[in-house]
C-alpha cells in the first residue's frame, strides 16, 4: 500500500530498507513523479503585469494630486500589488504631511527630494518619484 505523502513515503522507505530495493525504488519513483506533477499544477501562480496595475490604479484615480486622501488611496493600492513597500508608505506620509499645496504629487516628491539629506530617504523618494511618474504616464495614456 502506497500513500502519496513525501513524509510517509520517506517513513515507508526507511521501514522497508531490508525489503527488495528494486521494487521499493520503482514504486517510490512512480509515486514521486505523480506527486511532483500534481504539485506543479496546484502551485501555479500568475503575477499581474505591472503595466496593467498602473493602468488600473490610473483608471480608479483619474485626478491624482497631493491631497492626502487621494495619495493615501493610491499608495494603498500600489502597496497591495507590492509596487510600494512599508518604508515607501512611511516616506510618502511624511511628504504629504509637509506639503501645503494640492498640486501634482510628483512636484511634492521633487521638493522633498531636494530637501532630503539622508541617503536612504533619497532612495525611497527616488523610487516614489519613479512609481508616481509611471502612474501619471499611465493616467495620461488611459485618458488619451
Q: What is the pLDDT of residues 46-69, one digit of tens each?
A: 555 777 888 888 888 777 776 888
Containing domain of residue 102, as a range? 53-143
pLDDT higher than 80, residue 74: yes
pLDDT band at 98 (very low <50, low <70, confident <90, very high): confident
From the list 112, 139, 133, the residue with the least C-alpha distance to 55 is 139
Query: Would residue 10 count as lying in a domain?
Result: no
pLDDT score recorded for residue 72: 87
Q: 3-state DSSP call for residue 85?
A: coil
User: Model-level pTM?
Assistant: 0.62
For residue 132, is it within any domain? yes
On whether residue 62 sits in a domain, the answer given is: yes
Give the distance from CA 107 to its chain's centroid. 26
Q: Is residue 90 part of a domain?
A: yes
For residue 135, give Cα distances in angstroms to 39, 67, 86, 118, 141. 37, 16, 19, 25, 10
Residue 91 within any structural domain of the chain:
yes
Q: Does the pLDDT value for residue 4 go beyond 80?
A: no
| Residue 96 is assigned to a structural domain of this protein | yes
Amino acid at each position: 500500500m502506497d500513500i502519496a505523502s513525501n513524509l510517509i513515503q520517506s517513513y515507508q522507505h526507511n521501514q522497508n530498507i531490508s525489503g527488495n530495493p528494486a521494487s521499493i525504488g520503482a514504486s517510490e519513483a512512480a509515486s514521486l513523479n505523480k506527486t511532483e506533477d500534481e504539485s506543479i499544477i496546484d502551485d501555479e501562480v500568475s503575477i499581474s503585469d505591472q503595466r496593467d496595475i498602473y493602468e488600473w490604479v490610473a483608471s480608479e484615480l483619474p485626478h491624482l494630486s497631493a491631497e492626502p486622501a487621494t495619495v493615501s488611496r493610491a499608495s494603498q493600492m500600489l502597496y497591495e500589488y507590492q509596487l510600494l513597500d512599508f518604508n515607501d508608505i512611511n516616506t510618502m506620509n511624511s511628504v504629504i504631511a509637509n506639503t501645503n499645496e494640492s498640486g501634482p504629487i510628483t512636484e511634492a516628491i521633487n521638493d522633498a527630494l531636494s530637501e532630503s539629506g539622508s541617503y536612504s530617504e533619497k532612495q525611497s523618494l527616488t523610487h516614489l518619484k519613479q512609481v508616481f511618474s509611471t502612474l501619471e504616464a499611465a493616467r495620461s495614456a488611459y485618458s488619451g
